[in-house]
Amino acid sequence: MSGLLGARTCPGPGEASDLKSPLGAKFREPLTEGRFQQLFGDAEQEPELPAEARLTRLWRWRARACSGPGAWRLLLARLPPLRWLPRYRWRAWLLGDAVAGVTVGIVHVPQGMAFALLTSVPPVFGLYTSFFPVLIYTLLGTGRHLSTGTFAVLSLMTGSAVERLVPEPLGRNLSGIEREQLDAQRVGAAAAVAFGSGALMLGMFALQLGVLATFLSEPVVKALTSGAALHVLVSQLPSLLGLPLPRQIGCFALFKTLAAVLMALPRSSPAELTISALSLALLLPVKELNVRFRDRLPTPIPGEIVMVLLASVLCFTSSLDTRYNVQIVGLLPGGFPQPLLPNLAALPRILADSLPMALVTFAVSASLASIYADKYSYTIDSNQELLAHGVSNLISSLFSCFPNSATLATTSLLVDAGGNTQLAGLFSCAIVLSVLLWLGPFFYYLPKAVLACINISSMRQMFFQMQELPQLWRISRVDFAVWMVTWVAVVTLSVDLGLAIGVVFSMMTVVCRTQRVRCLALGLAEGTELYRPLRENHKLLQVPGLCILSYPTPLYFGTRGQFRHNLEWHLGLGEGGKETPKTDGPPDAVAEPVRVVVLDCSGVTFADAAGAREVVQLASRCQDAGIHLLLAHCNVSVLGTLTQAGLLDRVTPEQLFVSVQDAAAHALERLEHTGPKTCTVWV
């Protein structure tokens, strides 16, 4: 029921109150900001030091940091194994780390070669990227359960950059030497992208910008990975069908690839189509079994390595490469590549590609590390993660590796297999190292169509993220819109442009929501000291002549107009000041002129110069209209900004209160002298 129940005369001094309300009792004197600082503030604040003294203190602090204990603390912070290795539980954790590391290493071998094809470089460079970054992250990373290496989204983004920087000749009829030269140029371009990405992350670490990961919200990251998974699927169709088609890059590449595949479909290879169908028929059910029976299986079934071995044996025994022209991996060079500095002259051209890759690397890795850190009750250092991934990409680029990051598939595999610490990465590196040194020739006859199937099957978790959309629609329509806009942009345009559009749209939704916030009129809940919005279903008390307003959003250039409009609406400060103040009560209620207004600033987290000047103008207009303005619950930052804008030229320090309750009590005392107070009760 909503309506005016009645008006009651509030008791004067010495009278008993017929309402269970603090209005009839006085517990203490209202506290202004100045009085609160006198009573509870730090009376012995240190005086501000001159510039020379501050410089001397800074040099002393740096000298202490360069001392022996300071250097040891810095070493502990930058080399996490020095902290967790002395506390390592060898009997309890070693077996789990060994099993998990070997399991992940077995998956890294075929997956690394597969993602190398996605990057447009020879398969062996995927093995390098599965070795060096994992080793470096083990030494520098803080995520105990994080598995790094090749990542499909980054491989796709790198492949697009490589194809743009080093396009394949139109004729596509290259000799062996020309093919080697083209591959070498593409490897150099991919390494340069990794170098640029690592350098950018190291720059972010130097500036302590780990907080930037928060700008990639969860809907943006999930939509990005889901859309990229569709790009991966479509880009692998030519390899599945045995069609020698050039890779499409740029905007609308997905649709261009689909059109090219449909036009060339009659020329598809029956042998490679059969290999692809059989590979998917084995890989997809094994993936499903690993997910459904993860609690019962001692270790996940290594479907990828089984498929690789079966396909290699089948191709070798049936001579599929010579009889049916099936594309195979060929010889994997043994050992390691010679360290080589990437072409630094190409860095300006790849900066636009390296920046989104650096953001995706850090956002995906930091979010994965945070998920498992919360699950297993430990903490991660976001800035140290920037250092770990920056050094990982920078150093590994010297060994011809392409960009890398943490991956969802191998991280969940490591956890399911019983991994406990970063030591599992060393066992994973041992498996990849054995392939690089001794087992490489066994993959000579591996069909590339199998690697394309591994790429597609590894996208399973990313595709299933779309199942969360109905729940996201119920929780937040805005987040749903962010998800859909990002996904559509990624699919129709490209991964990097989709990421940029998703981030911009996500930030725009935040800005728009701050501009749509309404200024709320508050009333006192009967029997309490709580002030609640008058439109809510509570029995609330409202004193005629007193208006208590709450503005629950930052006050900046984008919200100053809405702030002015809301205050004019509530206080009747229209053109010429002749408007009647509005009420949030029933439509038949008579609104009395406002004599005292309390502005609750507890929701104003910050104010810029434009917003501060708007408050100063409000104080001036209230003064001209005969309205006594009181400000309550301003934080230190907002109060400092308002003071610098000249607020104290319009109001006195006695009009600044620490809480709404104190400001309202002062307002009631001020209204006492104008006659009996009529408390209007709304329900």
Q: Specify burial of residue 152 (Cβ count, 10 A radius: 0-12, 13-18, 19+).
A: buried
Q: Which residue has the higher pLDDT, 676 or 237?
A: 237
pLDDT at 332 over 90: no
Q: Specify burial of residue 602 (Cβ count, 10 A radius: 0-12, 13-18, 19+).
A: middle
pLDDT of residue 587: 46
pLDDT of residue 42: 52
pLDDT in tens, 305-329: 888 889 999 998 888 888 888 888 8
First to last CA, the chain: 7
pLDDT at 4 over 70: no
Predicted model pTM: 0.78
SS3 454: helix
CB 551 within 8 A of CB 603: yes
Most confident of the ranges 16-30, 94-108, 530-544: 94-108
Percent of the chain with pLDDT over 70: 86
Which of 122-126, 279-283, 493-497, 520-524 has the weakest average pLDDT? 520-524
Token pair belonging to 577: 């000041």
**Residues 195/197/199/205 CA torsion (nearest 10 deg):** -150
pLDDT of residue 429: 94
Q: How far is 683 from 680, CA to CA, in rounded Å?
A: 10
pLDDT band at 134; cut points 50, 70, 90: very high
pLDDT band at 54; cut points 50, 70, 90: low
pLDDT in tens, 651-665: 888 889 888 888 888
CA 230 to chain centre: 21
| Segment 295-305 mean pLDDT | 81
pLDDT at 595 over 50: yes
Most confident of the ranges 28-37, 484-493, 554-563: 484-493
pLDDT band at 480; cut points 50, 70, 90: very high
pLDDT at 474 over 90: yes
pLDDT at 675 over 70: no
pLDDT band at 682; cut points 50, 70, 90: very low
CB 568 within 8 A of CB 579: yes
pLDDT of residue 133: 94
Q: Which residue has the higher pLDDT, 499 or 298?
A: 499
Q: How far is 315 from 267, CA to CA, in rounded Å?
A: 21
Average pLDDT, the chain: 82
pLDDT of residue 172: 63
| Segment 232-251 mean pLDDT | 86
